[in-house]
């Protein structure tokens, strides 16, 4: 195995290099997955380190033409990340399997995968953290104010990275001899009024009654920052405002004033705003551009599949046993990265897969109890062998991950439509037929006519208009229909909220509905 380039050495690499490649604890069947992994990794890699893969045993889909990874980072980092992955996967294989019956192990694994256990180093976000840290360092050195806007989808590690930046900045300032800045980290959802943020910056508690003083906290701050300070050693203040879009009011005044605070000549605050919208700065802070002090924007892009695998493996690295089959992690990362790139979801799905394994264990134990009760003595000799076999298969496999993924991403609509009582299904069918020709909504009276037609077709006695509007209300409660308001029951407007294809799919098992939907 080629050694990793020196600059990128991390504690993980030193751990991995010392592990001998040849030590195989598990059966020979695992050698092929590792080889397959190397080939598929190198297929993505376009560096010279990758050996030329032969098209023999690999499935055609894995052999891709060498191309850049989707996140478009430079080649060198790509390569080293691939190598890091290979190192991790190597060390992954040489640990013993875990014992899911041991409660302590189970809770340790679940804790390692919980969203609230924040790792000490934030992997895959080094660039963004470095940029933010450099910006803050520059501000502290020059004793200048500045503003920064961090944006990205939920679950991409923004708040976590800002926590690390905060700690690193304080450490660096103390080391480098500068005055460590005051830090104020607030979540804007906890403010009952948006203008409270200024009083929080000033450091006062919110008074119950109106302040006696004539200046509002905002004016106070503005005055403070417009005059030269008497003492030269006033500390800088680092303000981290999470969920910044809660400060957006109709006239956008509060957000504007907050960012304008950094433009005053003697301002001492470094403002970092975190939100989800990429164009918040453009849309809501146009005046800042004219003043030429638009905040610097750092985008946290959604995690790619490789990044997710790396993060998951890093979390599992600390455990002394293997919990997941590598393909299972890969499947999870692939699916979640394709859907949203949200790390929380990936962690949640991994924990869900562990629970699938636990339920499978309990089922098999119960079955084993039954079968051993039936067969009695003869099973005694075979139990040690059975146990050995069982140990091998009790890691989280691809099947468990697939079930966990389908549970998360499946909508309950199809199941619910299939279990609705017959007349409610007929109502949905009649709505589909009514809205076939591009009509978007209809009244309950028109729906009832369509319903009566279908009942005649199916030779089922129809229900009266009162029961029909009751059933429409029940369907509206469940979110399948949308009912409007009107003076009379018959005039209420009805819209379908479910896709027609979903209804057709759900009811395809019943022949009469299928014919009816196709004929219409």
- What is the CB-side half-sphere exposure of residue 50 using CA atoms within 13 A? 22
190 vs 226, beta carbon nearer other proteins: 190
218 vs 405, beta carbon nearer other proteins: 405
Binding site for other proteins (CB under 8 A): 103, 106-107, 110-111, 114-118, 153-155, 187, 189-190, 192, 206, 208, 243, 246, 276, 342, 344-345, 348-349, 352, 355, 358-359, 362-363, 366, 407-408, 411-413, 415-416, 419-424, 452, 461-467, 471, 474, 477-480, 497
Nearest residue to 482 (alpha-carbon basis) of 490, 491, 470, 473: 473
104 vs 518, beta carbon nearer other proteins: 104
Q: How far is the CB of 278 from other proteins (least distance, A)?
A: 13
Nearest residue to 421 (alpha-carbon basis) of 372, 463, 378: 463
92 vs 98, beta carbon nearer other proteins: 98
187 vs 223, beta carbon nearer other proteins: 187
Q: How far is CA 469 from CA 347, 439, 448, in A?
A: 44, 20, 9
Query: What is the rounded distance in angstroms from the CA atom of residue 68 to the CA atom of residue 43?
Result: 10
43 vs 465, beta carbon nearer other proteins: 465
Tokens of 102: 């041991």
Q: How far is the CB of 292 from other proteins (least distance, A)?
A: 32
Q: How far is the CB of 365 from other proteins (least distance, A)?
A: 11
Query: What is the rounded distance in angstroms from the CA atom of residue 307 to the CA atom of residue 299?
Result: 16
Q: How far is the CB of 163 from other proteins (least distance, A)?
A: 11
Nearest residue to 504 (alpha-carbon basis) of 486, 516, 496, 495: 516
288 vs 405, beta carbon nearer other proteins: 405
Q: How far is the CB of 361 from other proteins (least distance, A)?
A: 12
Indicate the angle between helix axes 343-375 and 103-112, nearest 10 degrees.
Answer: 160
Q: Tell me the backbone φ, ψ of residue 307, rounded to 5 degrees.
A: -60, -40
Tokens of 358: 């636990």
140 vs 348, beta carbon nearer other proteins: 348
Tokens of 10: 């991390």
Q: How many CB atoms lie within 10 A of CB 94?
A: 16
Q: How far is the CB of 106 from other proteins (least distance, A)?
A: 7
Q: How far is the CB of 381 from other proteins (least distance, A)?
A: 29
Q: How far is the CB of 326 from other proteins (least distance, A)?
A: 24
Q: How far is the CB of 317 from other proteins (least distance, A)?
A: 19
Q: How far is the CB of 71 from other proteins (least distance, A)?
A: 20
* Cβ atoms 218, 198 nearer than 8 A: yes
Q: What is the CA radius of gyration of the chain?
A: 31
Tokens of 187: 């979540």
Nearest residue to 314 (alpha-carbon basis) of 21, 55, 92: 92
Nearest residue to 402 (alpha-carbon basis) of 394, 410, 391, 392: 410
288 vs 428, beta carbon nearer other proteins: 428
* Cβ atoms 295, 285 nearer than 8 A: yes
Ordered alpha helix ranges (H), 318-381 = 326-339, 343-375
375 vs 409, beta carbon nearer other proteins: 409
Nearest residue to 273 (alpha-carbon basis) of 238, 303, 234: 238
């Amino acid at each position: 195995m080629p050694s990793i380039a020196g600059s990128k050495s991390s504690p993980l690499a030193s751990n991995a290099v010392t592990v001998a490649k040849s030590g195989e604890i598990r059966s020979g069947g695992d050698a092929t997955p590792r080889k397959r992994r190397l080939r598929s990794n190198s297929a993505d890699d376009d560096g010279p380190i990758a050996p030329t893969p032969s098209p023999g045993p690999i499935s055609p889909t894995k052999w891709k033409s060498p191309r850049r990874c989707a996140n478009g980072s430079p080649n060198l980092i790509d390569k080293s990340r691939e190598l890091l992955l290979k190192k991790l996967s190597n060390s992954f294989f040489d640990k013993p399997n875990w014992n899911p019956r041991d409660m302590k192990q189970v809770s340790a694994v679940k804790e390692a995968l919980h969203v609230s256990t924040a790792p000490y180093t934030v992997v895959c976000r080094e660039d963004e953290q470095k940029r933010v840290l450099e910006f803050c360092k520059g501000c502290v050195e020059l004793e200048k104010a500045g503003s920064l806007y961090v944006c990205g989808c939920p679950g991409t590690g923004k708040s976590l990275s800002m926590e690390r930046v905060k700690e690193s900045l304080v450490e660096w300032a103390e080391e480098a001899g500068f005055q460590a800045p005051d830090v104020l980290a607030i979540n804007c959802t906890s403010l009952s009024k948006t203008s409270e943020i200024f009083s929080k910056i000033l450091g006062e508690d919110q008074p119950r009654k109106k302040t006696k003083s004539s200046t509002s906290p905002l004016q106070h701050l503005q005055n403070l920052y417009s005059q030269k300070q008497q003492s030269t050693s006033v500390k800088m203040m680092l303000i981290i405002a999470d969920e910044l879009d809660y400060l957006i009011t109709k006239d956008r005044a509060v957000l504007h004033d907050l960012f304008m605070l950094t433009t005053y000549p003697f301002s001492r605050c470094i403002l970092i705003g975190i939100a989800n919208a990429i164009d918040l700065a453009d849309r809501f802070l146009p005046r800042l551009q004219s003043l030429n002090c638009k905040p610097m924007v750092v985008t946290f892009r959604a995690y790619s599949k490789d990044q997710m695998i790396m993060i998951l493996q890093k979390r599992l690295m600390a455990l002394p046993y293997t919990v997941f089959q590598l393909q299972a992690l890969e499947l999870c990362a692939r699916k979640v990265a394709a859907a949203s790139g949200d790390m929380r979801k990936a962690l949640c799905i991994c924990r869900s897969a562990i629970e699938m394994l636990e339920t499978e264990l309990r089922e098999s134990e119960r079955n084993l109890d039954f079968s051993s009760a039936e067969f009695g003595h003869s099973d005694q000799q075979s139990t040690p062998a059975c146990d050995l076999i069982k140990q091998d298969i009790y890691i989280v496999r691809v099947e468990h991950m697939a079930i966990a993924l389908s549970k998360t991403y499946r909508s309950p609509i199809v199941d619910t439509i299939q279990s609705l009582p017959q007349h409610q299904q007929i109502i949905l069918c009649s709505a589909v037929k009514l809205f076939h020709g591009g009509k978007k909504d209809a009244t309950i009276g028109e729906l009832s006519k369509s319903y009566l037609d279908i009942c005649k077709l199916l030779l089922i006695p129809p229900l009266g208009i009162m029961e029909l509007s009751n059933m429409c209300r029940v369907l509206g409660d469940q979110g399948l229909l949308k009912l409007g308001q009107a003076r009379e029951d018959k005039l209420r407007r009805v819209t379908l909220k479910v896709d027609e294809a979903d209804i057709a799919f759900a009811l395809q098992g019943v022949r009469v509905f299928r014919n009816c939907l196709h004929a219409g």
